[in-house]
């Protein structure tokens, strides 16, 4: 493999941009799994649905980023309904964290995958926009606009969510319900309604992330599989439920993946997220920033 | 006793069928159903008995398949040796995964098993000896003793392996390992406190489950005369291995068998009449329906019907 | 009244039965010749596969309109393998054991074809190859005949190298997809590059599912290679072209391309548009080549392709797939049989006349008379399909007999050339 410091520097820069994108994609899972403890393996599948949604809206000439925003309310409702169903069927009956909850979400993820194949075929789809395919030229360096935009959106999302959870009443209630549901109930708030709201928010963030996904790379229905690795890696690395931790963890993953890609070639790229995940689970399961 | 009589009958009928002039394709398709039985039975030892959901089924299947391939390429090993070696390597993998992750909560174990799949896939993709992403073609012996074609011999071999898998599951269920696993599934901390050696039984279950999954994977290179990583390490195996025991019932060794027969038949019907895409949809939908409405599977439904009709 | 009606019905049905048996009897004597295959209709190779399938269907229609082969109608059975090598062994087993076809055609492309080679050898079936590359090298099946106009890796790379010779470049980067086609080609190209005294400064494989080539393109640029030889399948070819335009290969690159499959599919070429400019790639038919049979075939092909919304220009696979049909037709009519061995012997010994010219096979079942074209994309505009009908858009650099222009280098200059 060819190596030079210039190449490494570019790889790190690229990795930081990519890492922001990975963080954005994982924010929803940080809420759903990190804060609410729902074994939401279908999160990446919903991400891909968001991408296809942006793709379909693109057929009507709508820019993918705008499409992402338009999809957010729809996904919010979907998230609320999904959580409600999960709660009624599993959490209430008390067999949530066991085989059944996981199997349910796994089944949902597969159903989504197959429906996407039936609707769109197995081919790759890409979004079209003026900024996709062009890059910012800084001397010899070329930074693709698609990554710059995805990184920018990711940063904004992180800041917004972080503030939401620490400053608003609802946000703090969501954090509280993850920590001590009983105490929250004593204070008069309904934990189920709050969790539903949180899941709705997590899913709507996913819609925007999905739009970014199709800006950053072409999508095809089975992409959710590798994103299970990337999103869970980020969430585990972050330690449960921290938004800023998610951003930092995303950057770690992005840079690691980029360096591996540059030094060892494309055939190890898919294993990086999963490898990092296993290492964290083995060495420090509470994550880099968790308690 | 009844079990052994039925098993012997099953093996004898498989042999008779293979010796008859039945259409070759029957054995080609039959292999898939038998493989499904072994997958479901193997998965259930850890998933059903102990409650630890292994999503990494393709990893174990892949280890079995690629170990068999390696032996075939290196020393031209006969099929039975390939299967035993595949099972052994997969058992080791099971132990390794268990040691690494069994201290963690349920969902982390499951996510870790998915990680194993992709890491193993990357290892194969980086090995030119194992074919990389391109894959490897194999030549099978033309004339096979007694059965004529290799496919028929494979069919009989898989029937034998299915019987072995079912008897292992039955033994585990009725032994102290099974009791320990049930204690782990129902209340792990309480079991630990009562002196059940939970880590030990979980590791044994990991190894046995892994070994059976490896048995399901080992004959694959010879079955298709071709093997490549993307389809071998496909998460599709994970969904089937999960769905069949849940549909059949996870508490008893016969559950996976029932689930495999129901799902296998349905899949073949859907593939032939509608399309092969939709057969994956059928699996997913049935899985979700049963998990939501009938978590104890067909066994549970039968029990309920029996008690309600009394 | 009822008794009479029943009796009448009985007589009527007996007459019908006898009549049916009589005509049914003669129908049995002319039961169809079944030809079967799988073809990628979806998935990364689908763009090419659908066009190829239309050409084959047209041949079946033409042959049946003429009365069939040996007085029997041709029945064509095909499945979609999605371009996935894992699907073809099962499909071809089904074709042989369930559909019970008489003759087999291979799926388009090396990837889906490789897995079925051991199967067809074991079953001793003739297999008509379909644009695959050296797929028979390991299996050495003696009843394999490939319609593609290429043979060895050296022959392939030679055109590319000869085209770029004027630039005097000395360093090579090889980027090859980890799949049967690209690996076969790269394995053969490496010793050839060495024999030319070139220095290989970069040599990497990538998995077929790779979507982002930024790191790879950056690494190639950092290696300062002057020749960039790429062997890729359609999805990756598109992504690589996009990445080259987005990240840049560096000013030292003289020639880029070589064996990028997919740039010949009209929809992909139209989609990439001006990003293709400067790239030097292989092709099998470029407008202007003296093949009147192809021109008249395409005139019939284009309206049907348009109606079915597939590759309208059809410059790549369709004429060659029609040629597969023509070759089968000639062999069956000459040997008056559909026996695999007899047809294979005929193919081995004879030269066939097809719309893509004369076809002769060597001992391995590959083309004895090679005619692979190396062409450079020039002055391509975005979103314009009809421009490809002009020969100036793909300037043929080699072989000398088909040359239509001079190679422009370095790559950056060629990319801007009109």
- Distance CA(B284)–CA(B293), nearest Å, equals 14
Task: Please tell me which of the candidates B23, B25, B134 has its beta carbon nearest to residue C180.
Answer: B134
Name the region of B194 (left: φ>0; alpha: ψ -120 to 50; beta: rest). Answer: alpha
Cβ count near C54 (within 10 Å): 22
Mean pLDDT over residues A204-233, rounded? 92
Identify the CA nearest to A175 among candidates A202, A151, A193, A198: A198
Sign of the four-CA dihedral C406, C407, C412, C415: positive
**Alpha carbons C152 and C292: distance in angstroms, whole number:** 27
Residues in chain C with CB shorter than 8 Å from the CB of A218 are 211, 235, 239
State phi, psi for C225 to the nearest 5 degrees.
-70, 145
Q: In what order do the strands lie in the sheet with C144-146?
A: C74-80, C33-39, C103-105, C127-129, C144-146
Q: Give the dihedral sign, CA B286/B291/B292/B293.
A: positive
* Interval B73-94: pLDDT, tens: 999 888 999 999 999 999 999 9
Chain B residue whose CA is closest to C140: B139
Is B108's Cβ below 8 Å from some Cβ in A? yes
User: Does C118 sit within 8 Å of B139, measured CB to CB?
Assistant: yes
Q: How far is A117 from chain C (nearest CA, A)?
A: 11
What span, in angstroms and rounded, lies between the C-alpha atoms of C409 and C166? 8
Dihedral (CA of A235, A240, A246, A252) sign: negative
- Residue C289 sits at φ, ψ, to 5 deg, of -70, 135
What gap in Å lies between CA A231 and CA A246, rounded to an integer?
Answer: 10
- Mean pLDDT on B254-268: 89
Backbone torsion region of residue A32, taken as left when φ is above 0, otherwise alpha when ψ lies between -120 and 50, otherwise beta: alpha
Phi, psi (rounded to 5 degrees) for A135: -135, 160
A94 touches chain B (CB under 8 A): no
Contacts of C138 (CB under 8 A, 6+ apart): B137, C117
- CB burial of A45-71 (b: ≥16 within 10 Å; e: otherwise) equals bbbbbbbbbbbebbeeebbbbebbbbb
Q: Does B16 touch chain A (CB under 8 A)?
A: no
- Report which of C88, C414, C136 is spatially closest to residue B231, judged by C-alpha positions: C88
A26 in contact with C, Cβ within 8 Å: no
The pLDDT of B155-165, averaged and rounded, is 93
- Reduced to 3 states (helix: H, G, I; strand: E, B; else coil), residue B282 is helix
Six-digit token pair at C33?
A: 């010749």
Other beta carbons within 10 Å of A8: 15
Range in A179-188, A234-243, B37-46, C364-373 with the lowest mean pLDDT: A179-188
Is the minimum CB–CB distance between B162 and chain A shorter than 8 Å?
no
Minimal CA separation from C49 to chain A, in Å: 13
With b meaning 16 or more CB within 10 Å and e meaning fewer, what string describes C312-347? bbbbbbbbbbbbbbbbbbbbbeebeebebebbbebb
In angstroms, the CA B38 to CA B49 distance is 16
Closest CA to B111 of B55, B69, B47: B55
Beta-bridge partner residues of C78: C37
pTM for this entry? 0.89
Q: E strands of C32-189, at which residues?
A: 33-39, 74-80, 103-105, 127-129, 144-146, 171-177
Among B166, B134, B148, B157, smallest CA distance to B252 is for: B166
Contact A1 C204 (CB under 8 A): yes
CB A286 within 8 A of CB A267: no
| Polymer length in residues for chain C | 418
pLDDT band at C162 (very low <50, low <70, confident <90, very high): confident
Segment C204-234, tens digit of pLDDT: 999 998 988 998 999 999 999 999 999 999 9
Paired sense of beta strands A135-138 and A141-144, if any: antiparallel
pLDDT over 50 (residue C23):
no
Cα distances (angstroms) measured from residue A1 to each of B218, C202, C205, C216, C345: 34, 7, 11, 10, 48
8 Å CB contact between B156 and B15: yes
Residue C174 phi/psi, 5° resolution? -115, 125
DSSP bridge pairs for C71: none
Other CB atoms within a 10 A radius of the CB of residue A119 amount to 10
Picking from B101, B107, B239, the nearest residue to A102 by CB comes out as B107
Q: Does B291 touch chain A (CB under 8 A)?
A: yes
- B139 contacts C178? CB cut-off 8 A: no
Summarize pLDDT for B91-127 with one digit per residue, the tens: 999 999 888 877 777 778 888 898 999 999 999 999 9
Question: What pLDDT shows up at residue A139?
Answer: 77
Averaged pLDDT for residues C66-93:
91
Q: Give the per-residue pLDDT at A122.
A: 82
User: Which residue among C94, C97, C115 places its CB closest to the CB of B226?
Assistant: C115
d(CA A49, CA A223): 10
Option in A2, A217, A262 nearest C212 (CB): A217
How close B126 gets to chain C, by Cα (Å)?
Answer: 9
Of A98, A118, A281, the CB nearest to B108: A281
**Are the Cβ atoms of A122 and C214 closer than 8 angstroms?**
no
Mutate to test the interface with B, among A114, A221, A223, A275 (most CBs of B within 10 A): A114
Backbone angles phi, psi at C322, to 5 degrees: -60, -35
Q: Give yes or no for a contact between C116 and C92, defined as CB atoms under 8 angstroms apart.
A: yes
- With cut-offs at 50, 70 and 90, classify the pLDDT of residue B142: confident
pLDDT confidence of B255, banded at 50, 70, 90? very high
Is residue A120 within 8 angstroms of chain B, CB to CB? no
> Which pLDDT band, with edges at 50, 70 and 90, does A267 fall under?
confident
- Helices and strands (DSSP H and E) totals, chain B: 14, 2
Chain B contact probe: residue of A271, A284, A290 with most B CBs at under 10 A: A271
For A251-274, letters b (16+ CB in 10 Å) and e give: bbbbbbbbbbbbbebbbbbbbbbb
Cis peptide before C399 (omega within 30 of 0): yes
Domains of chain A plus CATH, in order, are 5-283 (1.10.3470)
Is any Cβ of chain C less than 8 angstroms from the Cβ of B175? Answer: no
Which chain B positions have a beta carbon within 8 Å of A44's beta carbon?
A: none
Per-residue model confidence (pLDDT) at position C115: 92
Q: What is the pLDDT of residues A85-106, one digit of tens each?
A: 988 888 776 654 567 888 889 8
Side-chain half-sphere CA neighbours of A248 within 13 A: 15
How distant, in Å, are the alpha carbons of B25, B73, B204, C11 from that of B139? 19, 10, 36, 60
Rounded to whole angstroms, how far apart are CA atoms C270 and C387?
9
Confidence band for C18, pLDDT divided at 50, 70 and 90: very low
Residue C242 CA to residue C114 CA, distance in Å, equals 29
Out of A231-245, B174-188, C293-307, the most confident range is C293-307
Min Cα–Cα distance to chain B from A121, Å: 10
Phi-psi region of A127 (alpha: psi -120 to 50; beta: other; left: phi over 0): beta
Subunits with 3+ C-beta pairs closer than 8 A to C: A, B
Pairing outcome for strands C144-146 and C127-129 = parallel
Q: Does A118 touch chain C (CB under 8 A)?
A: no
Is the separation of the CB atoms in C380 and C276 below 8 Å? yes
For chains B and C, CB pairs below 8 A equal 72
* Pairing assessment for the beta strands B136-137 and B226-227 based on DSSP bridges: antiparallel
CA contacts within 13 A on the Cβ side of C53: 22
Bridge partners for C104 per DSSP: C36, C127
Set of chain A residues whose Cβ sits within 8 Å of the Cβ of B53: 99, 102-103
Contacts of B226 in chain C (CB under 8 A): 85-86, 89, 114-116, 118
- Give kind and range of the element (H or E) at residue B26: helix B24-47
Sign of CA dihedral C124, C128, C130, C136: positive
Q: What is the pLDDT of residues A110-161, one digit of tens each?
A: 999 999 988 988 888 888 887 887 888 887 788 888 899 989 999 999 899 9
Chain C residues with at least one Cβ partner in B under 8 Å: 84-86, 89-90, 93-94, 96-98, 114-119, 121-122, 138-139, 178-180, 183, 205, 207-209
pLDDT higher than threshold 50 for residue B281: yes
Query: Worst-scoring range by mean pLDDT, A186-190, C97-101, C164-168?
Result: A186-190
Separation of first and last alpha carbons in chain A: 40
B230 contacts in C (CB within 8 Å)? 84, 86, 208-209
**Residue C72 per-residue DSSP state:** B
E-assigned strand segments in chain A: 135-138, 141-144
Chains with 3 or more CB pairs under 8 A to chain B = A, C
Checking ipTM against 0.95, whether it exceeds it is no
The answer to whether the Cβ–Cβ distance between A281 and B235 falls below 8 Å is no
- The tally of CA atoms less than 13 A away on the side-chain side of residue B218 is 31
Is the Cβ of B278 closer than 8 Å to some Cβ of chain A? yes
Question: Does B25 reach chain C within 8 Å, measured CB to CB?
Answer: yes
- Sequence-distant (≥ 6) Cβ neighbours of residue B50 within 8 angstroms: B181, B184, B185, B201, B202, B205
The pLDDT value recorded for residue B169 is 93
- Cα separation, C334 vs C328, whole angstroms: 10
CA distance B207 to chain C (A): 29
- How close does chain A come to B129, measured CA to CA in Å? 15
3-state DSSP call for residue C397? strand
pLDDT at C9 over 60: no
């Amino acid at each position: 493999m060819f190596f030079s410091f210039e190449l490494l520097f570019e790889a790190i820069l690229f990795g930081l941009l990519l890492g922001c994108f990975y963080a954005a994609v994982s924010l929803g899972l940080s809420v759903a799994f990190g804060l609410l403890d729902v074994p939401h393996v279908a999160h990446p599948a919903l991400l891909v649905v968001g991408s296809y949604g942006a793709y379909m809206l693109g057929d009507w000439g709508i820019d993918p980023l705008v499409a992402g925003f338009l999809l957010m309310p729809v996904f919010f409702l979907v998230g609320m309904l999904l959580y409600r169903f999960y709660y009624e069927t599993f959490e209430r009956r008390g067999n949530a964290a066991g085989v059944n909850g996981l199997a349910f979400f796994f089944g949902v993820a597969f159903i989504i995958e197959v429906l996407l194949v039936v609707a769109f075929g197995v081919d790759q789809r890409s979004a079209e926009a003026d900024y996709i395919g062009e890059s910012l030229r800084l001397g010899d360096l070329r930074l693709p606009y698609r990554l710059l935009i995805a990184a920018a959106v990711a940063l904004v999302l992180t800041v917004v969510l972080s503030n939401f959870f620490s400053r608003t009443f609802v946000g703090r209630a969501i954090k509280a319900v993850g920590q001590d549901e009983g105490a929250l109930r004593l204070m008069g708030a309904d934990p189920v309604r709050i969790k539903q709201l949180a899941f709705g928010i997590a899913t709507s963030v996913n819609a925007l992330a999905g739009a970014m996904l199709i800006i950053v790379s072409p999508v095809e229905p089975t992409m959710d599989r590798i994103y299970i690795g990337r999103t869970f890696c980020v969430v585990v690395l972050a330690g449960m439920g921290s938004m800023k931790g998610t951003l930092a963890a995303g950057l770690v993953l992005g840079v690691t993946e980029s360096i591996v890609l540059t030094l060892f070639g494309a055939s190890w790229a898919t294993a990086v997220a999963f490898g990092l995940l296993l290492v964290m689970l083995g060495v420090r399961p509470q994550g880099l920033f968790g308690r | 006793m009844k079990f052994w009589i039925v098993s012997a009958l099953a093996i004898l009928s498989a042999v008779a069928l293979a010796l008859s002039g039945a259409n070759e394709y029957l054995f080609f398709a039959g292999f898939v159903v038998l493989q499904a039985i072994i997958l479901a039975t193997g998965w259930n030892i850890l998933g059903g008995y102990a409650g630890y959901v292994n999503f990494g089924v393709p990893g174990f299947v892949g280890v079995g398949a690629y170990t068999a391939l390696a032996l075939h390429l290196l020393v031209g090993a006969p099929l039975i040796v390939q299967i035993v070696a595949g099972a052994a390597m997969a058992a080791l993998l099971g132990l390794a995964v268990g040691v690494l992750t069994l201290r963690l909560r349920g969902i982390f174990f499951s996510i870790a098993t998915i990680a194993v799949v992709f890491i193993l896939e990357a290892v194969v993709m980086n090995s030119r000896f194992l074919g990389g992403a391109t894959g490897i073609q194999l030549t099978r012996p033309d004339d096979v003793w007694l059965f004529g074609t290799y496919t028929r011999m494979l069919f009989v071999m898989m029937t034998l392996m299915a019987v072995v898998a079912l008897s292992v599951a039955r033994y585990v269920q009725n032994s102290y390992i099974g009791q320990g696993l049930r204690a782990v599934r129902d209340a792990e901390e309480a079991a630990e406190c009562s002196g059940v050696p939970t880590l030990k039984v979980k590791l044994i279950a990991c190894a046995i489950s892994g070994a059976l999954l490896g048995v399901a994977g080992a004959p694959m290179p010879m079955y298709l005369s071709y093997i490549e990583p993307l389809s071998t390490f496909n998460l599709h195996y994970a969904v089937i291995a999960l769905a069949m025991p849940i549909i059949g019932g996870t508490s008893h060794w016969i559950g996976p068998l029932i689930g495999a027969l129901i799902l296998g038949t349905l899949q073949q019907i859907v593939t032939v009449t509608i399309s092969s895409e939709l057969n994956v949809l059928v699996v997913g939908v049935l899985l979700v329906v049963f998990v939501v409405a009938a978590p104890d599977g067909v066994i549970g439904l039968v029990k309920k019907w029996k008690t309600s009709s009394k | 009244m009822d008794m009479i009606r029943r009796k009448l019905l009985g007589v009527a049905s007996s007459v019908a039965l006898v009549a049916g048996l009589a005509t049914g009897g003669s129908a049995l004597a002319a039961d169809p010749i079944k030809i079967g295959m799988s073809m990628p209709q979806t998935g990364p190779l689908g763009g090419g596969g659908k066009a190829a399938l239309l050409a084959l269907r047209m041949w079946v229609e033409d042959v049946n309109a003429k009365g069939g082969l040996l007085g029997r109608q041709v029945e064509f059975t095909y499945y979609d393998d999605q371009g996935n090598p894992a699907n073809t062994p099962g499909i071809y087993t089904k074709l042989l054991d369930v559909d019970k076809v008489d003759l087999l055609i291979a799926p388009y492309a090396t990837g889906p074809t490789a897995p079925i080679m051991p199967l067809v050898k074991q079953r001793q079936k003739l297999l008509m190859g379909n644009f695959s590359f050296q797929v028979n090298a390991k299996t050495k099946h003696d009843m394999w005949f490939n319609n593609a106009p290429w043979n060895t890796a050296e022959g392939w790379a030679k055109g590319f190298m000869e085209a770029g010779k004027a630039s005097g470049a000395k360093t090579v980067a090889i980027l090859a997809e980890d799949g049967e086609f690209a690996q076969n080609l790269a394995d053969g190209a490496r010793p050839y590059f060495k024999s030319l005294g070139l220095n290989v400064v970069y040599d990497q494989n990538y998995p077929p599912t790779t979507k982002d080539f930024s790191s790879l393109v950056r690494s190639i640029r950092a290696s300062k290679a002057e020749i960039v030889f790429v062997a890729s399948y359609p999805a990756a070819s598109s992504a690589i072209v996009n990445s080259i335009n987005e990240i840049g290969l560096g000013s030292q690159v003289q020639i880029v391309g070589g064996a990028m499959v997919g740039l010949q599919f009209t929809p992909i070429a139209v989609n990439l548009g001006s990003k293709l400019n400067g790239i030097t790639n292989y092709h099998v038919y470029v407008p202007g080549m003296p093949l009147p049979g192809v021109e008249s075939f395409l005139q019939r092909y284009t309206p049907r392709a348009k109606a079915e919304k597939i590759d309208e220009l059809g410059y790549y696979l369709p004429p060659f797939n029609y040629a597969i049909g023509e070759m089968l037709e000639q062999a069956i009519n000459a040997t008056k049989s559909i026996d695999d061995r007899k047809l294979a012997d005929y193919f081995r010994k004879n030269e066939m006349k097809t719309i893509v010219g004369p076809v002769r096979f060597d001992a391995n079942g590959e083309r004895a008379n090679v005619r692979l074209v190396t062409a450079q994309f020039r002055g391509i505009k975005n979103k314009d399909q009809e421009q490809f009908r002009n020969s100036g858009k793909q300037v043929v650099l080699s072989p000398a007999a088909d040359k239509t222009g001079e190679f422009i280098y370095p790559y950056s200059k060629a990319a801007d050339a009109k």
